[in-house]
Structure formats: C-alpha cells, structure tokens
Amino acid sequence: MKLVVTGGAGYVGSVCAATLIEAGHEVVVIDDLSTGNRYAVPEGAAFVEGNLVDVADEILGGGDVDGVLHFAARSLVGESVEDPAKYWHGNLDVTLSLLDAMRRHGVHSLVFSSTAATYGEPDVVPITEDAATRPTNPYGATKLAIDYAITSYCNAYGLGATSLRYFNVAGAHDGVGENHLTETHLIPIVLQVAMGYREKIMVYGDDWPTKDGTCVRDYIHVRDLADAHLLALQSNSPGTHRIYNLGSGDGYSVREVIDVCREVTGHPIPAEVAPRRAGDPAVLIASSEKIRSDLGWDPTRTELHRIVEDAWEFTRALGDRSHSARR
Ligand code: UDP
C-alpha cells in the first residue's frame, strides 16, 4: 500500500513509519519539523517538509494513496493548559483539514494517534474503551473532539478509521527514541540524569494513594505500539470507526521506574520528592483486551526492564546530539 504518515519525524510517527516500510509498504512522511527530527525519518520513506494543511492536497491528490496514519500534533499537557489556542488550532483545525483533503481525494482509510488523556481521572482501572471520557486538560480534549469528528465522517462519508489511545509510550527502536527539545516524560528525564545532563530526578508527589505513594503508569514499548498501527490499518473497514486502548496492562510506580533505570544504567540516579504536578491522575493502567481479541495484537516487549534498556541504548548512542546540544 502507499501510505502517508503525518508527523513521521516525531518519536512515535517515525517508528511507525519504519515498521510500515519493514512490512513492505511505500511511505510518504509529512512533517514540519517543529518538534520532530529529520534524522528520525526512516530511510526508504519519501519526505515532504511542510505544513500539513499546505501540502495535503498535493500529496493526497495523486490518486494512489491507500491510507493515512496521522501523528502530527501538539502533545504537551502543560503547554495545552497555558496556550489552548495552539492546541485547538494545531490539533483540531489541522485534522479537520486533513479529513477534508482525504474526502476530496477519495482516501478512505485512517489510523489516528490518540491518547489516554481523553479519559482523564478514571473511576476504575484497568481502563476499558467504554470508560467515561472526561479529559482534564485541553490536549486530551482536542484529541477527544477529533475522535467525535472522525466518527461522524465515518458514518456520513464512508471513512474507515481506527483511533489508538496510547498510555505511556517508551523505549526505542532501530536508532529512534524519545528526543524532544522540551522533555517532560519520566523515562527520558531519568536517563538524562544517568547521562549527567541533569543532577537529579524530581518525583512529583509521594503521597498518592498507591503502593509506594508515587503515581502508577502503564508503559508500552514504542515498537509494540507500531505493530498495533499496522494491524489497525490492515483491518480498517469503510463506515466504521474503532477505538482501542494501547498499554502493556501492568502498572509501575515512579519509584519503580527509577529503580529499573538504576539497574539498567548502573547510575545511582539521585531523586528528590517535589510537589504533585497539576493534572496528574494517581493511577493509569490500560485494558488492551479489546485490540488483543479483535485484531490479535500481541505485544512482546512488555517488560519494563526491556523498555528501559532500549531507551538507554538510544540515549547513549545519541549522546551530545540530544538535548544538551540543542538546548
Ligand atoms: N514524573 C515525575 N518526574 C518527572 C516527570 C514525570 O515524577 O520529572 C511522573 C509524573 O508525575 C507521572 C509519571 O512520572 O506520574 C509519568 O509522567 P510522564 O510525563 O512520563 O507521562 P504522563 O503519565 O504524564 O503522560
């Protein structure tokens, strides 16, 4: 198939693009490089640098595109609270433009990169797809709004789509890992301490109602996540919008994550307790039973040790090209 990957220079988008190429598909990456890295675009993908809204017609207009995987988005929770306009325009407007371009050019298959942030604070864990959606920040709200739009486009215009709601994506694959100019995620920050780029890790609260008082999250390997995109794409059906959660199904506390990072890196990784971070739920664990039973998704890299090992290998290989060189 000929596939367009928006945001294919970003962390998740680039690993998915590489996975599609490995599976024998032709891939065109569109990315404006606002947060992505040119080096992350896999060899073998055609690359178009530009604003999605400006280039969508040109790329989709050839009449030979079979599907779109849409990753391009703004994705920082804190920033979305401070500057929601950037998120409503950057996520919702841009996606509506993409959906309309797909309609104009008869492209009827979409996989959408969504998030557990659409659920907000859960009543029950593990979280299933029929849990209430009450996002606690504009980022999650924009992704949820897009899901509503996709559902109605599927019903009215024959689009076949799958939204994948990611829990905590981590790890690396084939030289591509998390390398954001502004890093907010736990594992890359802890590994930056091990690299000597930061003095210590700040633990956001140790008085949560959890096993050791720190927040619990479900970490999923980026390559397992990519496999789910391929399965979703292969089974999209016109007029249908499916929504699946993606996690490993195990919860690890912040302290447990830091301990695993100590084991993997051999570094003492000093940690200091800081106040809670606004908007953090205590526990987020996915039920991914639905995608396992519907699509046969079978993640194989679910051990946190393995996930951190891959992230560490990437972080070391990147060395000074990482945040320190770009900060
Ligand atoms: N966290 C932390 N210190 C950091 C970064 C994150 O204690 O420097 C905690 C955060 O409060 C959350 C967990 O680690 O409980 C995972 O945070 P992350 O930002 O990686 O993912 P999120 O669950 O917010 O999507």
Whether residue 168 has its Cβ less than 6 Å from ligand 1: yes
Is 197 among the catalytic positions?
A: no
Lowest mean pLDDT among 101-105, 181-185, 224-228: 181-185
The verdict on the CB of residue 186 being under 6 Å from ligand 1 is yes
- Which tens digit of pLDDT belongs to each residue from 269-317? 999 999 998 888 899 999 999 999 999 999 999 999 999 999 999 999 9
The span from the CA of 108 to the CA of 237, in Å, is: 9
SS (H, E, C) 141-157: HHHHHHHHHHHHHHHHH
Please give the pLDDT value at position 321: 65
The pLDDT of residue 32 is 97
Angle between helices 138-157 and 94-104 (to 10 degrees): 20
Instruction: Indicate whether this model's pTM tops 0.85.
Output: yes
314 in Cβ contact with 264 (< 8 Å): no
Non-local CB neighbours of 285 within 8 Å, separated by 6+ positions: 125, 126, 127, 167, 216, 217, 218, 247, 249, 250, 251
pLDDT for the residue 252: 98
Beta carbon of 271 within 6 Å of any ligand 1 atom: no
In terms of pLDDT, which residue wins out, 3 or 181? 3
Task: Check whether 224 has a pLDDT greater than 70.
Answer: yes
Indicate which atom in ligand 1 lies nearest the CA of residue 170. 20
Q: What is the pLDDT of residues 24-66, one digit of tens each?
A: 999 999 999 999 999 999 999 999 999 999 999 999 998 899 9
Active-site hit among 139, 153, 244, 252: 139
191 lines ligand 1 (CB under 6 A): no
Phi, then psi, of 74 in degrees rounded to 5: -85, 135
At 129, is the pLDDT very low, low, confident or very high (cuts 50, 70, 90)? very high
Q: What's the whole-number mean pLDDT along residues 99-120?
A: 97
**Segment 165-191 mean pLDDT:** 93
Under a CB-based contact definition with an 8 Å cutoff, are residues 187 and 257 in contact?
yes
Contacts of 237 (CB under 8 A, 6+ apart): 160
Burial of residue 69, with CB atoms counted within 10 A of its CB: 0-12 exposed, 13-18 middle, 19 or more buried = buried
Asked if 136 and 120 touch (Cβ cutoff 8 Å), the reply is yes
Handedness of CA 216, 217, 221, 227 (dihedral sign): positive
Of 158, 244, 257, which Cα lies nearest the Cα of 217?
A: 257
Residue 95 Cα to ligand 1 middle (Å): 27
Predicted confidence at residue 284, as pLDDT, reads: 94
